[in-house]
Every structure is written in C-alpha cells, then in structure tokens.
Amino acid sequence: MHRVLEPVARYYADKLRAHGTTARGVDWNSPDSQDQRFTELLRVCREDRAASINDYGCGYGALAARLRRDGYHGPYRGYDVAPEMVAAAEAQAGVPDDCRFTSNPRELTVADYTVASGIFNVRLEVAVDEWELHVRDTIDRLAALSLRGFAFNMLTSHADADRMRDDLYYADPAAWLTYCLRKFPRSVALLHDYQLYEFTVLVRTGPD
Ligand SMILES: C[S@@+](CC[C@H](N)C(=O)[O-])C[C@H]1O[C@@H](n2cnc3c(N)ncnc32)[C@H](O)[C@@H]1O
C-alpha cells in the first residue's frame, strides 16, 4: 500500500467500526448526500445500463446496490484500500451477489467506466504538495482502468473558510479542470452546481 494511504485506510476502518455499514461509516453526513454523489458521478455513463463499472474506493459497496436498483446490470468491481471495508461489503446482505470486491489493486481490471467517490478528501497529516502528487497518480490510474471514461469528486476550496478542517483536502476546481483538460482533451465536464461543498469531474476518454 502507498505510504500516504496507510493512515487513510486506518481512518476509514475506524469510521466503519464506529458506525457500521451506513453513510457515517464511510464518513458521509447522510445517506442522501452519499446518494447524490453517486447521481453526479454516474452521469459519466450516460445511462448505459450494460456498462461495466469499477468503483474505486468502494467503501462497504453502497454504489453496487444503487446501480442494481437503477437497472445497471453490467459487471461491477469494487476496490477499497481498507480491507475492513471490503470484508463489510462482502458480508452485506443488501449488496447484490454478482458484484465483486477486492482490496488488492492488482485484481482491478479495465472496465468501461471507473467512478471514485470520496477518495481525495481525507489527507490527514500529508503535506498538500505530496497529496496533490498522490491525486495526480490516482487520476492516471483511474484513466488507465477505464475504456470509455471516469469520474471523481473532491471537496471544493470555494467553501466557507471557518468550516474547513485541517485534515481534509479542499481542491481548486478550476485547477483540476485544467489539469484534466490538458491530459484528457477529448471531453471533460466540471459539475459544481449541486448542493454539497464539493464538485465532480467527468472525463470521457472513449469514442462516445
Ligand atoms: C468517503 S469513503 C466513500 C465510500 C464509497 N465510495 C461511498 O461513497 O459510499 C472513501 C473510501 O475510499 C477508500 N479510499 C480512499 N483512498 C483510496 C485509494 N486511493 N484507493 C482505494 N480506496 C481508497 C477509503 O478506504 C474509503 O472506504
């Protein structure tokens, strides 16, 4: 596991231990906000219900249940750096049994789309420069895993300063949009218009 991720994995394992397989167990404030994030990220799939999907930082697999509920029936693979999350996902009654989970990054294979909800937020004590290198590497990885496109979200730096926490990473949306446009010039969308202090980036890399 990458050095910067060890404390992150412990942070989330602690949340899971404290709150179980709930939105708070993956450090979201509410099930509604968790679900809203999925809605924004899934725009990248353009409603292709047969698409194969990687869920990068899957937590306990809440997206798997959402996908099946929405009629997505293509292969789903969830990956999380915290093995406790993967164990919880596999043990969950509500999660469809044709969905697969792993904490081994080498087991992830290329899918049509890769989505990542909440993986760039908790920086803990890692310096901002180092965290941004990690974010870039991870975006490259999302791209390499995706035939047609990928999507991720980040906390926005356009939030009230007095509500910001020192251990979280607040990203400049314009800077990350520019970064993605330079690397993936075909099609990049920035969604900064929903009611959470964050934004979503959709990157299309395939022909459609
Ligand atoms: C905020 S939680 C969200 C979980 C899930 N995406 C959801 O919305 O229900 C972020 C999850 O990503 C995992 N994670 C963070 N960074 C990661 C990385 N670089 N690779 C894989 N998993 C990561 C954490 O262990 C945690 O379970």
pLDDT in tens, 132-176: 999 999 999 999 999 999 999 999 999 999 999 999 999 999 999
Give 120 Cα–ligand 1 centroid separation in angstroms. Answer: 8
From the number of C-beta atoms within 10 Å of its C-beta (0-12, 13-18, 19+), residue 121 rates as buried
Gap between the terminal Cα atoms of the chain = 34
The reported pLDDT for the residue numbered 178 is 97
Task: Report whether residue 76 contacts ligand 1, using a CB cutoff of 6 Å.
Answer: no
Q: Write the CATH number for 161.
A: 3.40.50.150
pLDDT in tens, 33-64: 999 999 999 999 999 999 999 999 999 999 99
Q: How confident is the model at residue 188 (pLDDT cuts 50, 70, 90)?
A: very high
CA angle 33, 39, 40 (to 5 degrees): 95
Domain carrying residue 87: 5-204
- Residue 102's CB is within 10 A of a number of other CB atoms, namely 17
What is the C-alpha to C-alpha distance for residues 52 and 112, in angstroms, rounded to an integer? 5
Q: Looking at ligand 1, which atom is closest to the CA of residue 62?
A: 9
Task: Report whether residue 59 contacts ligand 1, using a CB cutoff of 6 Å.
Answer: yes
Domain count along the chain: 1
φ, ψ (nearest 5 deg) of residue 8: -65, -45
Task: Report whether residue 86 contacts ligand 1, using a CB cutoff of 6 Å.
Answer: no
pLDDT in tens, 85-138: 999 999 987 778 789 999 999 999 999 999 999 999 999 999 999 999 999 999
The reported pLDDT for the residue numbered 183 is 96
Query: Residue 100 carries which DSSP code?
Result: E
Q: How confident is the model at residue 207 (pLDDT cuts 50, 70, 90)?
A: confident
Q: Looking at ligand 1, which atom is closest to the CA of residue 118?
A: 1
Helix residue ranges, H only, 113-200: 128-144, 173-183
Task: Report whether residue 25 contacts ligand 1, using a CB cutoff of 6 Å.
Answer: no
The reported pLDDT for the residue numbered 98 is 84
- Residue 50's CB is within 10 A of a number of other CB atoms, namely 11
Overall pTM surpassing 0.85 (yes/no): yes
Q: Is the dihedral of CA 46, 47, 49, 55 positive or negative?
A: positive
